[in-house]
A and B are shown apart, each in its own frame.
Chain A
Amino acid sequence: MSIALPAKRFAGIVAKVNAFLLIAFVLVAAFLGLVAYKQGWFVQQSPIHFVTANALGINKGMPVKLHGFTIGSVNNMELARGGVDVRLQIGSEYLSRIPEDSRAKYARESGLVGAGVIDILPGKADRSIADGALITFEPARALNEIIDDFRRQAMPAFNEVKAAMSQVGHAGEDVTQILANLRKEVEQLPATHRAIRKLVEEAAQATADVSKQASATLSAVEKVSKTVDRTIPEVSEKVVAGLQSIDAAAVQARKTGEEVQLTLRAARPLVEHSEVAAREAGDVLGAAKRVWPLSDSFKETSDGLLPIDSFEAEGKGRSR
């Protein structure tokens, strides 16, 4: 059984399908071209490579950075003798900026966390790195290494803190006792202050009294000059009174002096305690300050190799 179709229904269908497929092909090709462009396939790339004993953390496609600027990516990784051969594709235009003694290092963009990158550490050579060159790789330190380093550097500092604390203990009084004494002495400070103020006021009063008596004496002397004979007894009375006032002032001054001495005697333990506390605090701080070298534990080492020094050839190395 055959179905009768209209004669002109599929006229030119081949051309239409061809046109459709052509347009689709062009679109796919354009899409691929765009992807290729974005992937940098049109940028001329130069390979360099390094060998690492352990490629943990290194991935294909991982960015390669120079001074924090992306200059390429990890292209391929394959097992080789001695570890993993990691091949990097670097934009050819950047090769001239990489000295030949540069090194590669695994790093993270934000310290211990963050995305991993291969960081190129530029060397100091005048010549640039060659196409396909082998560069050295500095492996990143593992967390347990950092912690070990930290522990090793922290131990002397903690031991010193411990020693300083035991010295405080050997002083005969524990820190609590010293602090209690210190607080007691500080509480006595207002009383001391009051005593000193009283002393000053009394001294001022005594001075005023002396001045008053002196002026009275002067006026008496004036009177004496006028009526010497008549006023001799009065003058002698005034002189006696003046002397008594001076004597009283002297007694008062002596009393005040004794009070000051007492106050100073009371303040002396406070000063001594303060001195001891300051010295001990200084010891503790001195020990604590040595903790700062801990920051060194986060410095990157090269490859853990001790320095190869031609000086050792003189046979003096053993006297280190």
Chain B
Amino acid sequence: MRWLAAGLVLLVAACGGGKATNNNSGSNNTSLSQSRLTQAETRAAGFTKSGDYQNAARQYAEALRIATTLENAEAIAANAINLSIVSQWLGRDNDARAALDAVLADSHTAFSERRKIQAELRRAIVELGGGNTGAAAIWAGQAQSRCNATSCEYAAGILNVRAQIELESGHNAEAAQLAQSAAERSRSSGSQVELANALRTLGRARYAQSQYAAAMEPLKQALEIDREVGDPRKILADLADLSRAAEAAGDAAAAKDYKERGLAVSRAMNGGRGAPEAALTR
């Protein structure tokens, strides 16, 4: 009987003795810096939206600095990547590369796999944009292997970069194959931007393989998507590629039409000044 009573008492005691939760006993000592970080990020986003990339880069750099003082891995990665993007838009490839080092060269901070993939993909883009196909291939390969290990939303983008690397290296068949895979991944993930990029690269790869008529179809699809997305740089690139492909396919009238449309877009992009023909005769 005594054991039964003791067991009952123990049971009741166990019921009442829950561990006290202590969730947001948050430290407010970082709230000021956190607020500054948020402000810098918001200002940077505002400058980016308004096209003031100089100030946007300055604010992203400030946000990156504050995030580093807070050891906030997510914010460090996000601001480093944004800074690299804006720096590349400004034509500062070295700055773009250096910004990414905040993620890629830091072995102490535990960045998430997603952030690492983003940084590696960005690095591959910066390298390829600067003509360093070898370095681009290495970074794209790292991003690819990391992406394969996780459920990765950047698979299509990585495949597109790899396709462009192959195309730059003269491996046109491999480029076409990778672009085709990128298009399929983009379709399944619903990424219109990367789908258009994949179709453009596929068209270029076919053109490089002298399949001029076959190059037209993906390029036309890319143009349609880019017009929906509304990016004049890409529309211009599509029209230039279409003009070349149509000319090579023997359709001079279509080539002329695409070229004139491209010149109109180029002229409008340059604020009505004379359009650089180089973009269309690349």
Contacts and interface: CB of A to CB of B under 8 A. Distances in A.
Interface string A14-25: 100110011011
Interface string A78-89: 001111000000
A244 B88 CA distance: 94
Interface in B1-34: 1, 4-5, 7-8, 11-12, 15, 21, 23-24, 26, 34
B81 interface: yes
A319 interface: yes
A145 B38 contact: yes
Interface in A50-96: 51-60, 77, 80-83
Contacts of A319: 233, 269
Contacts of B188: 124, 126
A306 B85 contact: yes
A155 to B, nearest CB: 10
A319 B95 CA distance: 17
Interface string B141-173: 000000000010110010011001000000000
B250 interface: no
- How many B residues touch the partner, as a band? 35 or more
A134 B188 CA distance: 21
A315 B26 CA distance: 45
Nearest to B5: A21
Nearest to A301: B45
Contacts, number: 163
Nearest to B7: A25
B78 A305 contact: yes
Interface stretch (B128-136, B208-216, B257-265): B128-136
A28 B11 CA distance: 9
A224 B11 CA distance: 138
B189 interface: yes
Contact of A60 (B23, B111, B124): B23
B8 A25 contact: yes
Main secondary structure, interface of B, reads helix
A152 interface: yes
A314 B241 CA distance: 13
B97 interface: no
B154 A53 contact: no
A311 B234 CA distance: 8
A134 B269 CA distance: 43
A21 B4 contact: yes
B91 interface: yes
A317 B15 CA distance: 63
Interface string B185-221: 0001110011001000000000000000000000000
B190 A124 contact: yes
B118 interface: yes
Contact of A136 (B114, B121, B154): B114
Interface of A: 14, 17-18, 21-22, 24-25, 28, 32, 51-60, 77, 80-83, 100-101, 124-127, 133-134, 136, 142, 144-145, 148-149, 152, 303-320
24 contacts: A25-B7, A28-B8, A51-B112, A58-B23, A80-B110, A81-B73, A82-B74, A144-B35, A144-B39, A148-B46, A303-B78, A304-B82, A308-B81, A308-B125, A308-B154, A310-B161, A310-B164, A313-B129, A313-B136, A313-B161, A315-B128, A318-B91, A319-B233, A320-B53
